[in-house]
Amino acid sequence: MRVVGGKYRGRRIKSMPKREDTKLLRPTTERVKESVFSILNNYLEGTKFLDLFAGTGAVGIEALSRGAEKVVFVESDRRFCNLIKENLKALRIPPEKYEIICDDFTKALKKLGKRGEKFDFIYADPPYEKGYYTRVVNMVKNLGLLDEDGLLILEEPKKNPFIPEDEEWLVEKRHYGTTTVSFLNFNPEGEE
């Protein structure tokens, strides 16, 4: 894997050895990452970004590379948390630019909510087969983790896409091979 654009463009990101990786991780493909970040590119400078189900940290590192002020990585598997640390250190990204929360996503989101954190972008790429989409969306909304104009970006399987409770939340859906990416905003018309 490599960083697609920005300051760290072309730099490699470590992953787990193939034999371990296949059961633990379904990384965001470079095509999906490149497409999503070409949409977000002009809006990333100085933003707060949450990489939920971070895996190797590739999505959050891409956000940092393209100008995000701070990225919070949430990953439950300690091996991947260590890998994220290694990748950030290898790129010499200053520690004040990131936080790694190595915990279950529900506990991590509650912790961020208690702290009053708000994000401009939240990228969630949960394991497809677990069916976490509704819980992620409801928690992000109910805990107020998304800034008023912020986007929740869900990576999901094309064959079994997530349908939001309120259709107005859906800003856009994009399809890339077997992957669908949904962009949601809970304040679609700038309502108070």
Q: H or E element: which one contains 173?
A: strand 170-176
* Per-residue model confidence as pLDDT tens digits over 131-148: 899 999 999 999 999 999
Torsion region of 57: left, alpha or beta (phi above 0 gives left; psi -120 to 50 gives alpha): left
The pTM of the full predicted model, rounded to 2 decimals, is: 0.91
* Per-residue model confidence as pLDDT tens digits over 51-106: 999 999 999 999 999 999 999 999 999 999 999 999 999 999 999 999 999 999 99
Please name which of 150, 163, 87, 100 lies closest in space to residue 123, comparing C-alpha atoms.
150
Amino acid 158: pLDDT: 82
* Per-residue model confidence as pLDDT tens digits over 10-64: 899 988 765 444 444 556 777 888 889 999 988 999 999 999 999 999 999 999 9
Q: Which domains does the chain have, with CATH numbers?
A: 28-184 (3.40.50.150)
Question: Regarding beta strands 98-102 and 70-75, do their DSSP bridges make them parallel or antiparallel, or are they unpaired?
Answer: parallel
